Amino acid sequence: MANKPVIGITGAYVFHNKFMEGTYVHHDYQKAIAANGGIPIILPFLEENLAEEMIERCDAILFSGGEDIDPSFYGQDPHQKLAETTPLRDKWEIVLLEKAMKKKKSILAICRGVQLLNVALGGSLIQDIPSDVKGSIKHSQTVNRSWDSHWVALEKGSKIETILQAKKIRVNSLHHQAIDRLAASLKVTATSNDGIIEAVEHAYYGPFLLGVQWHPESMAATDEIMNRIFAEFIKNAK
């Protein structure tokens, strides 16, 4: 039996009390990876010199959701509506991304992950969509995480359109920030009706690299179209 690919999933940080704190990843990430033939491994943010060793042990990396990215990483001051940040995680994941790309690993970036991808490559973020985007739709849904919330249009011929085999999809939505100035090496491949960037891919990176603003991991168990993202990601990690 062939070895299953090992997929590193970046971890957030949670604090319950002084006796309970540490690395956290929503279980939908692990479930979606495992359901498609991968072995999920959670990567805590630690010393930067461990990033390369972690990368060596993984066949692909999934940059997960979580806290807002500290705006100092894209040269801005904090907005009044900026939520909790973890600068140590930001710094760690930027190094991890650089190492992963250098080693030509397959990369999937989800929600905060696609924002981190854009910032790491030189782009910036909208710090609060409701405040800064006139006429924006609601991007931070209050219904069940696995339910769809709004429409997203996919660019013809893009990686995401090829994977999903659709021109328009319904997605869930759990964010108040988004890509603003796009990094020069990225290209937009999906948008919502208010113009918010919903998916990107790299202009010339050879291996699989996809970033999406929604949370396909929480829809994949019941939505075959969303599950295709993970099937393709795992296939490219083998």
Q: Which residues are annotated as catalytic?
A: 111, 215, 217
Q: What is the DSSP string of the chain?
A: -PPPPEEEEE-EEEEEETTEEEEE--HHHHHHHHHTT-EEEEE----GGGHHHHHHT-SEEEE---SBPPGGGGT-PPPTT---B-HHHHHHHHHHHHHHHHTT-EEEEETHHHHHHHHHTT--EES-HHHHSTT----B--S-TTS--EEEEEPTT-HHHHHHT-SEEEE--B-S-EE-SPPTTEEEEEEETT--EEEEEESS-SS-EEEESS-GGGTTTT-HHHHHHHHHHHHHH-
